[in-house]
Structure 1
C-alpha cells in the first residue's frame, strides 16, 4: 500500500518509515525539510530515495490534501513537542494538524488511519492498571491540552465509524533519536547524578517495537481500535538499578515524596507564567512520574502478534547511543561508553605496542598476501564460533568484526572476518584490502549487489546497511584508517585497483531477536 505519513524526521516517524518499507509498503512522507529528513532516515539505515518525500506542513490543509491523494492508508506521527515547556500556539498546531491529516484521510476514504497518541492522556489513572476505558486526563500544559483535544477529535471520528486506530505508547526509548525527548533527556541527565526516587515509575517501549506495531496495524487493515502500548513498567528504583547494572556506574538515589514532586512542579508552572525559562519539570511531568501505573498492552500485542523486546535491551541500546552521540559523558556511561578506534590508539595495549609493529611488517609482505587468506579467515571464523562472537585473531591488534553478506551469485550467507574502524555514532568503516591482492574481495561485490548485511562485533549481532564511500568521504576517513592499520598504505602501493571502502550503518528494525 501507499501510506501517507507525517513526522518522518522525528523519532517514532523515522522508524515507522523503516518498518513500513520492511513490510513492503510505499511510504509518502509530508516533511517541512526534505534534506533534514533524508539525514535522519540515513542515520537509521534507510536510503531517502526509497521514500517519497513531499515538502509541506501539516498545518497547510492544501499540502496535506495533495499528499493524501493517491494513498491507501495514513499514519499521523507528527506533533509539536512541549511537555517540558510552554509554546503559545502548540494547541492550535497539534489540533489543526490532526484535523488536516486524520480528518483529511478519513474524508478521502483511506483506511486504516493510525493516530499516535500517548499514554499520558490517561494519567492520573483511577486504578492500578491503565486501560483504554479509563477516564481522560485534565492536563495543565499547552502540550497536554493539545494532545487531549486531538484525542477527543479522533475519538469522535471513531464514534462515527471511521477506520481510525489510536495507539497509546509509553516512554519511547532506543537509539538515534533526532531530538531528545523527556525520557531520553531524563536518562542522560540522571546518570551519574542524584536520581529522584518518588513513588510511581516509567513505562518504556522500544521505538522499533512501536514502529513495527504501526506497520502491522497498516498491513492488517484494521481500524476503530484503541490500543495501549505502554511497554515495560519499571518503578524508579528498578529503572535506576537497571542503568547501574548496564553502565557499571552507581548513581545516587534521592528519596523524594510524591507530594514534594507535585508541589515543585506546580511552583515551576507558576514561575514560568511570570518569566519564561526551560526546566524539565512541570506539574504534568511530576504527575506522570508519581502516578503512572502499568498499562494493559495485552489486547494490542495479541491482535498484532507482537512480542516486545526486553526493557534491558532497549535501555542498553538507548544509553549506548546517548554516549556515542555525546549526550552522555563517557564516565557516566561506564562500560557502555563508545570503544572507538581513536580511543584504542590513544591507549595501546602491551600486545599492540610489542607485537603490533612486527605483525604490520609481516602483513604487508607479498608472501603474506599469498598465504594469509588461506590461514587467517578460516581460523578467525572458528575462533568467532567457539567464543560466541567475542574473539577474533586480529582483535588484539585492531578492532575487528565478522561481516555476513549474501553471496552475489549463490545467494547464500557468506562470513568475512575484517578489521574495522568503529565510529562514535555506532557505524563501522571497513576496507576491501584483500591482503593487498589485486582482486577485490568477494564480500565487497556481495555488498554492491545486496547492501543488507549483518555485523557481529564483540558479542553483539546487528543488522546493517552498507554504503560505499565516495571520493570526498574516502579522503576524510583515510588518515584515521591508517592510524588503525598503517598497512593499508602498503596495500595501495602494491595494487592498481582502488580499495573499496564501506560504511556499515545499523538498520532501524533489528527484530525481537537482535542482541
Structure 2
C-alpha cells in the first residue's frame, strides 16, 4: 500500500513513517524542505521514501500528494504552547486539516488517518474520555485549534468518508527531530529549570507505541476512533519516574494548577516580546489542570503501552547521546541501568 504522509519529519510523523515502512508499506511525504528528511528519518533507518515538496496550506501540493495514493496519514501539526506561535498553530492545525481531508476525499483515497490528540476532548465536562466523547471546549490556543480540527475530521466521518481519528497522549521517546514540547519539558526538569510544578496530571505515552498504532490502522482499522497507548500520570508521579530513572533528587514544589493559571497568562504576555523561551507556559499549566483520564476500555487497536519508566529512560539516554543533556543531568539513566517497575 502507498501511504501519503503529512508531518513526516516531525516527532509523531517520523516514527509513524518508520512503522509504516517496517510494516511493508511504501511512503510518500509532503515536505517543505527536503534537507530535513535525512535528519528526521535517518536515525530511524528509513531511507527510501518518495517526496512531494510543499506545505499543507498549499492546495496544489496537497493534491499532488494524494494523487494515486492508497491511504493518507495526516500528522502535520504545530504543537506548541508558545504564545508567539498562535497564528501559525491555528493556520496549520485547522486550515491544513481542512485542505488535506478535503483533498483526500475528492481523490477517493481509502483510509485517511487524522492525528488528533487526547487534548481535543478536554473541557467537555467528562470525568473520563473514550471514543464516544464529544469534541472538547478547551480554553487554550493549541488545544482549541486541535478541537477545531477534530470537528473537521468528525464532519467527514458523519458524511461516511473513510476517516479514522487517532488520539495520542503527551508523547516521549527517543529521536525527536525538532525537540518538541514534551522532550523540552523533560529536559528542562533535569536541567533544574522547573523547580515548581502545577498539580494535576496528563496522559503520557511512548511515540513508538502511537506509531505502531498508526501503522496498524492501515491493515486493520476496525473502529474509526482510536487512542494512542498511554498511562495517566499526576505531575508528582511524573517527577517520581524521572527520579527513578536518573537517581537524582530533583527537589520540586507543587502548587495548585488553577492557582498558577494567572501566572501562565502573564508569562504568555511576556513571551510575546521576550526573545528566549520561558518554561512556565499557560498551555502547559492549563493542560495539567484540565487533563482527563482515558477510559480503560478505550480502544488502542490492540497496541499495548510499554512501561512509562522505560519510555522516560530511553528519552533521557537519547537526549544525552545527542548532546542535548549532560551526563550529570542524565544521572543513572546513562549507565544503562534497567528501570524498576512503573507506576
TM-score normalised by the chain length of structure 2: 0.90
Matched residues in 2 for 1:153 and 1:28: separation? 24
Match of 1:281? 280
* Compared CA separation, residues 102 and 297, structure 1 to 2 (3 A): farther
Q: Residues 53-64 of structure 1 correspond to what in structure 2 (within 5 A)? A: 53-64=51-62
Secondary structure, aligned partner of 1:4: strand
Instruction: Give per-residue Cα distances to partners, 1:318-375, cap 9 Å, x unaligned.
Output: 11111222222221211223x7xxxxxxxxxxxxxxxxxxxxxxxxxxxxxxxxxxxx
Q: Residues 401-440 of structure 1 correspond to what in structure 2 (within 5 A)? A: none
Secondary structure, aligned partner of 1:80: coil
* Compared CA separation, residues 72 and 305, structure 1 to 2 (3 A): same
Secondary structure, aligned partner of 1:46: coil
Secondary structure, aligned partner of 1:8: coil
Match of 2:303? 306
Residue 269 of structure 1, CA deviation: 3.4
Residue 192 of structure 1, CA deviation: 5.3
**Cα pair 1:125 1:291 within 8 Å, conserved:** no
Matched residues in 1 for 2:296 and 2:67: separation? 33
Secondary structure, aligned partner of 2:174: coil
User: Which of 1 and 2 has higher RCO (CA within 8 Å, sep 6+)?
Assistant: 2
Runs of 4+ in structure 1 deviating by more than 6 angstroms, as ranges, are 273-277
Gaps of 5+ in 2: 339-343
Q: Residues 425-464 of structure 1 correspond to what in structure 2 (within 5 A)? A: none
Match of 1:206? 206
Secondary structure, aligned partner of 1:219: coil
Residue 277 of structure 1, CA deviation: 6.4
Match of 1:86? 84
Matched residues in 2 for 1:155 and 1:72: separation? 21
Matched residues in 1 for 2:38 and 2:106: separation? 30
* Compared CA separation, residues 332 and 459, structure 1 to 2 (3 A): closer
Tell me, yes or no, if structure 1 residue 7 matches structure 2 residue 7.
yes
The number of residue pairs the alignment matches comes to 336
Secondary structure, aligned partner of 2:129: coil
Residue 292 of structure 1, CA deviation: 1.6
Residue 110 of structure 1, CA deviation: 1.1
Residue 222 of structure 1, CA deviation: 4.4
* Compared CA separation, residues 143 and 459, structure 1 to 2 (3 A): closer
**Cα pair 1:229 1:297 within 8 Å, conserved:** no
Secondary structure, aligned partner of 1:27: strand
Match of 1:52? 50
Secondary structure, aligned partner of 1:278: coil
TM-score normalised by the chain length of structure 1: 0.61
Residue 287 of structure 1, CA deviation: 1.5
Residue 140 of structure 1, CA deviation: 4.4
Matched residues in 1 for 2:132 and 2:296: separation? 13
Given candidates 310, 322, 327, the residue that maps to 2:324 is 327
Instruction: Give per-residue Cα distances to partners, 1:425-471, cap 9 Å, x unaligned.
Output: xxxxxxxxxxxxxxxxxxxxxxxxxxxxxxxxx788xxxxxxxxxxx
Match of 1:317? 314
**Cα pair 1:169 1:205 within 8 Å, conserved:** yes
**Cα pair 1:124 1:287 within 8 Å, conserved:** no
**Cα pair 2:129 2:295 within 8 Å, conserved:** yes
Residue 256 of structure 1, CA deviation: 0.9
Deviates more, 1:314-323 or 1:123-132: 123-132
**Cα pair 2:4 2:73 within 8 Å, conserved:** yes
Residue 178 of structure 1, CA deviation: 0.7
Q: Which is higher, the Rg of structure 1 or of structure 2?
A: 1
Residue 126 of structure 1, CA deviation: 2.4
Match of 1:347? none
Residue 92 of structure 1, CA deviation: 2.1
Residue 276 of structure 1, CA deviation: 7.5
Gaps of 5+ in 1: 340-457, 461-515
Matched residues in 1 for 2:331 and 2:16: separation? 31
**Cα pair 2:82 2:271 within 8 Å, conserved:** no
Matched residues in 1 for 2:125 and 2:257: separation? 17
Secondary structure, aligned partner of 2:303: coil
Instruction: Give per-residue Cα distances to partners, 1:182-227, cap 9 Å, x unaligned.
Output: 221111111253543433112211111101100100112546x222
Instruction: Give per-residue Cα distances to partners, 1:8-63, cap 9 Å, x unaligned.
Output: 1111111111111111111111111222112311111212xx21122221111111
Instruction: Give per-residue Cα distances to partners, 1:91-128, cap 9 Å, x unaligned.
Output: 12322221221221122111211000111112235243
**Cα pair 1:28 1:53 within 8 Å, conserved:** yes
Match of 2:23? 23
Tell me, yes or no, if structure 1 residue 219 matches structure 2 residue 219.
yes
